[in-house]
Chain A
Amino acid sequence: MLRRLVIAAWLGLALAALFLYPLAVALSTDAYYLQWQAGDVVETAVALAGLAAVFGAIVFALWYRSTRAAHGALALVSALPLASFAAGVSRQLPFQRALISAGETVPLGTAASGLVAAAAIVALTVWPAAFGRVLRRLLILLSPVSLVVLATVALSATRPHAAVRTDAEPGPAAARVCAPVLALLFDELSFYYVYDQDDHIRPELEALGRLGSEATHYVSVAAPGRETLDALPSFLAARRVREIEVRPEGLLERGAESELIPFDAAGRDGLYGTARALGYTTEMGGYYLAYCELLGATVDVCRSRSFYNASSPGEFSPLDPLRTTLVLWPRQAPFGLLKHPAFARHQREMVEELTAFARRPISRQPPTFRLVHFSIPHLPFVFDADGYNPPSDPLATAPDDAYGRQVLYVDRVIGELLDALRRDAVYDDMTIVVLADHGYRFGGHERDPLQIPFIVKHAGQRERVEVRAEQQGETLLKDTLQIACAAPEPSR
């Protein structure tokens, strides 16, 4: 009996750890992107213990049974942890790119998984005893992997954790009178999906059209980078950052001599350093990068979310590490079947949190400068004009229908935010900026992913203005902040 209990406990732990293996891989190689917190370690430990108990009970019931049904049930229970382990291993292989392109061929991915399932069913039917013996040996063979997962999670608790939340007291009223500024940065919002060929807002984007009717349209603005990883640091530093590399200790940028130097977003000439000097209360909400860490003491209120870690800072749920594991799975068949719902829900939560952050009350004195980096219309594509409505594959980029529908949702978010500002009677007295970090990178009717929409409604502006002069997005945002302080004093 004791032997049976020990085997059940060991293999229960092994199956739980095999399932969480992709999370351990991410913690080992891409910890920065997870914005890992002490609370995440606790959640993962509880999730591991809970899964181990469930798997252990099942192993206890099935391990010593030699019927075909018991072998089949054990195979079914083991399938998910084994698939997860395979997903984690595939991420580390040197030929990962070849695996990805093979998996992109849908018939190939489906055929391969179908073949494995068919082989298992045939083996179980024809040679049940041999099938049961091989399955059990495979589980025992892989069981020590649990030690690697346990060690990785334990080690993650000892590393410094990125700040994901800042709540400083607002500073004193500023001597200068600046208009509050709300900058809404939508990830991957394409110029060519916002504007028609005459550089007018497309008619289906009603909220943007209404804002645009009394705003300045900069129609020749260059993105600071092709990808968010380079573009967002450029906006924060208010200068072109050539290239960013992510290291466990933080972000490094490529210098003039191609050397790697620590990236500094909190300098006096940066966007937030400038905002502080102008007397703004500074706020930042966003996903993907560890903004609170990057901006340090230059930001008063900050929230940041990981694109991969489904855990919400400050909320405890042992289910979050399981969701994060599924988010980290490959998107190819058959993994996509479970990854897509988890990723779609994560996208929904990020957008809800960032929208709530954007809707925080705006202060006139000291004035608020708030930048919100939204995770839409970037994939996963889960929204349309009516709200959350995820398709079966929210990561499909061609055709571009799903992206187009998510752009409609961007318009809805903008409309709701601006309506709230109008209700609060602050809309007229503040500067509102709508911009993007880069365009749509997957074709469609994108013509230049390096041309970004940049719309500014200055305080008190009533007329549409069009600026055709070529501009750089990262300097234009800082200039907009300075213009907001040169404008006439807002009405009271």
Chain B
Amino acid sequence: MRVLIPFLAAVLVLIGERPALAYVDPGTGSLLYQTALTMVLGLGLVFRRVRVSIAEFVRRLGGRIGSDGGTPHQH
């Protein structure tokens, strides 16, 4: 489950990627992607382990930024 969330997020980003746009435009038929992303959030509401995994992922991400020598605000 620890790798599931980053994996799903990566898959969704790759599916949503378009050559000309670096973001998911809310006005060009991208509602399905947005819906899929919110359902990942829904997974977090359903399963406690998913919530813990997300929290750990964010914590580790934060720790990595910190170990590089400061917070993003200091750059």
Contact = CB atoms under 8 A, between A and B. Distances in A.
A33 to B, nearest CB: 14
B45 A140 contact: yes
15 contacts: A24-B31, A29-B28, A29-B31, A92-B31, A92-B32, A140-B42, A140-B45, A140-B46, A141-B43, A141-B46, A142-B39, A142-B42, A143-B45, A144-B39, A248-B27
Contacts of B45: 140-141, 143-144
A436 to B, nearest CB: 33
Shortest beta-carbon contacts, A-B, top 5:
A144-B38, A141-B42, A144-B41, A92-B32, A28-B31
B71 interface: no
Dominant SS among interface residues on chain B: helix
A148 B34 contact: yes
Q: For this complex, into which size category does the number of interface residues on chain B fall?
A: 10 to 19
A147 B41 CA distance: 11
Nearest to A141: B42
Given A92-B32, A140-B45, A140-B46, A145 B39 contact: yes
Contacts, number: 50
A143 B34 CA distance: 13
Interface in A1-50: 24-25, 28-29
Contacts of A148: 31, 34-35, 38
B26 A143 contact: no
A25 B32 CA distance: 8
A92 B34 CA distance: 12
B26 A152 contact: yes
Contacts of B27: 28, 155, 248
Interface string B40-53: 01110110000000
Interface in B7-40: 26-32, 34-35, 38-39
A145 B28 CA distance: 18
A248 to B, nearest CB: 6
Nearest to A26: B31
A400 B15 CA distance: 44
Contact of B32 (A89, A140, A142): A89
A144 B29 contact: no
B26 A151 contact: yes
A13 to B, nearest CB: 13
Given A89-B35, A141-B42, A143-B42, 14 more contacts: A24-B31, A25-B31, A89-B32, A93-B32, A140-B45, A140-B46, A141-B46, A142-B39, A144-B41, A147-B38, A148-B31, A151-B34, A152-B26, A152-B31
A464 interface: no
A317 B38 CA distance: 30
A145 B35 contact: yes
Nearest to A146: B38
Interface string A413-454: 000000000000000000000000000000000000000000
Contacts of B28: 29
Contact of B29 (A24, A28, A145, A151): A28
A460 B31 CA distance: 57
Nearest to B31: A28
A28 B26 contact: yes
A140 B26 CA distance: 24
Interface string A131-151: 000000100111111011001
A78 to B, nearest CB: 15
Contacts of B29: 28-29, 92
Most buried by A among B26, B30, B35, B39: B35
Interface in B57-75: none
Nearest to A147: B38
Interface string A99-127: 00000000000000000000000000000
B45 to A, nearest CB: 5
B9 to A, nearest CB: 15
Contacts of A93: 32
Most chain B beta-carbon neighbours within 10 Å: one of A93, A140, A141, A155? A141
Contact of B42 (A29, A89, A144): A144
Contacts of A137: 46
A23 to B, nearest CB: 11
